[in-house]
Amino acid sequence: MLKVKVTTVGNSMGILLPKEALNKMKASKGDTLYLVEGPEGYTLTPYKQDFEEQMEAAEDVMKRYKNTLRALAK
């Protein structure tokens, strides 16, 4: 668990993220991060909320049409 403090940034409020957290998220200056609300609270992520749903749908299609996709790849 990393501890961060809320600070003033201009006329707004913000937090400073440690380099190790940004490295794990593969995020850098100028990147967009998403604050996603869940049952346990909020999660900060570099991925859009629907990205996981899209990946699950793609994996389902790949499983169902494995032979067709293999034939198309030849």
Instruction: Please give the structure tokens belonging to residue 2.
Output: 């990393």
pLDDT of residue 2: 83
Q: Kindly give the confidence (pLDDT) of every residue in the chain, 74 residues in length, as a single tens digit, with 9 standing for 90 and above.
A: 888 999 999 999 999 999 999 999 999 999 999 988 888 898 898 877 777 777 788 889 999 999 999 899 98
Are 25 and 45 in contact, with CB atoms under 8 Å apart? yes
> Which residues are 53's β-sheet partners?
none
Parallel, antiparallel, or unpaired: how do β-strands 34-38 and 41-45 relate? antiparallel
pLDDT of residue 48: 75
pLDDT of residue 64: 92
Residues in the chain: 74
Instruction: Record the pTM.
Output: 0.56
Phi, psi dihedral angles at 57 (to 5 degrees)? -65, -40
How do the domains of the chain map onto residue ranges? 6-73
Cβ-Cβ contacts under 8 Å for 12 (sequence gap 6 or more): none
